[in-house]
Amino acid sequence: MSVHRDSQLDMFAKASPVIAKVRAPSRGRSSQPSMHCEEDMARTLEESGNYRILRKLTARPIAPVKRPEFSRLGVILDTETTGLSHRSDEIIEIGAVAFTFDDSGAIGDVVGIYGGLQQPSRPIPPEITRLTGITDAMVEGQVIDLRSLSVLIEPADLIIAHNAGFDRPFCEAFSTMFAGKAWACSVSEIDWSARGFEGTKLGYLVGQAGYFHEGHRAVDDCHALLEILDREQRQGESPFAELYRASQRSRIRIFAEHSPFEMKDHLKARGYRWSDGSDGRLKSWWIEVGEDELGDELSYLRSEIYRWKEAEPPTVRLTAFDRFKS
């Protein structure tokens, strides 16, 4: 749900954990009748079958007490950066929403929020300002408070990002607090299509779930993702429960090292990606599969690519502690 720009800026006035304050209604004026009236109108439009209503997404407040039945801590994290390369570009904003959950993947309460801006070493490119709304004036003199951020990150059992392959390398280059943490990706580790969603971008998910929000600002996106992850679907299982279960499974990365050059189009069509070796991986085509898919993939490589049944392409077993690294 969208937030007025002034309120959003207040969120980042200090680089420290943020608690949104709910304004009390003006004296002598009650907002309750108005709310009822709005909901009645929305319901009437929806029941007509001619309209779909998007409701403003409301951020959850920080719970005053941590419930013991939700013993695990997750952190939804989002970054805004000056570009796409974690080697040459910089983080200009980090948002984080910490929440509790249990071993079944049931979400408890929000227990902490952080939002901070940081001035980069070079001016923000105009296309980034257009995308994020973050200007050079907004970040001037701003520094992300690592101590406040670490209060949420260090005890986390799981860090969730909507495209962890992008956010994790930036975060690990930014601070050592992210080293050794378990990460999950809410884009690739949830079958959104099976849940009836037409795309995986956060804007699609929010809109199809019946909400709208202030997109492309870090804390707002974290709150929005939490609401989507906590929706019960598909026989009562929430997307977060699916994500948490996926994060606990190992994946296998297979490197089709020394594969014949003329087979590159076949590998690419099957989903293999090329690594030129600059990122520390082997210089080869590679793919990541589940443990139950390993046998079939090796059989494919031996019969279709190498055409040698004794071929043993290198493999690496990955857990949530290893996945989505650069």
Model confidence pLDDT, tens digit, residues 34-68: 667 888 888 898 889 899 899 999 999 999 999 99
Q: Which strand ranges, in their side-by-side order, compose the sheet holding 284-290? A: 273-275, 284-290, 251-256, 315-318
Look at 51-55, 97-101, 159-163, 261-265 and tell me which has the smallest mean pLDDT.
51-55
Q: What is the pLDDT of residues 224-279, one digit of tens each?
A: 999 999 987 667 899 999 999 999 999 999 999 999 999 999 999 999 999 998 77
- Mean pLDDT throughout 130-134? 93
Q: Please determine, for residue 215, whether its predicted confidence score (pLDDT) is greater than 90.
A: no
- This prediction's pTM: 0.82
Task: Give the pLDDT confidence score for residue 181 in this predicted structure.
Answer: 98
pLDDT score recorded for residue 7: 33
**Which residue ranges make up each domain of the chain?**
72-248, 251-318
72-248: CATH number: 3.30.420.10
CA distance 269 to 255: 15
Determine the Cα–Cα distance for residues 169 and 288; give it in Å rounded to an integer. 18
Beta-carbon contacts of 169 under 8 Å, excluding residues fewer than 6 positions away, are 86, 324, 325, 326
Nearest 5°: CA angle at 59, between 152 and 220?
A: 70
The pLDDT of residue 11 is above 50:
no
- Secondary structure (H, E, C), the chain: CCCCHHHHHHHCCCCCECCCCCCCCCCCCCCHHHHHHHHHHHHHHHHCCCCCCCEECCCCCCCCCCCCCCCEEEEEEEEEECCCCCCCCCEEEEEEEEEEECCCCCEEEEEEEEEEECCCCCCCCHHHHHHHCCCHHHHCCCCCCHHHHHHHHCCCCEEEECCHHHHHHHHHHHCHHHCCCCEEECCCCCCCHHHCCCCCCHHHHHHHCCEECCCCCHHHHHHHHHHHHCCCECCCECHHHHHHHHHCCCEEEEEECCCCHHHHHHHHHCCCEEECCCCCCCCEEEEEEEHHHHHHHHHHHHHHHHCCCCCCCCEEEECCCCCCCC
Both tokens of 63, joined, read: 């719970």
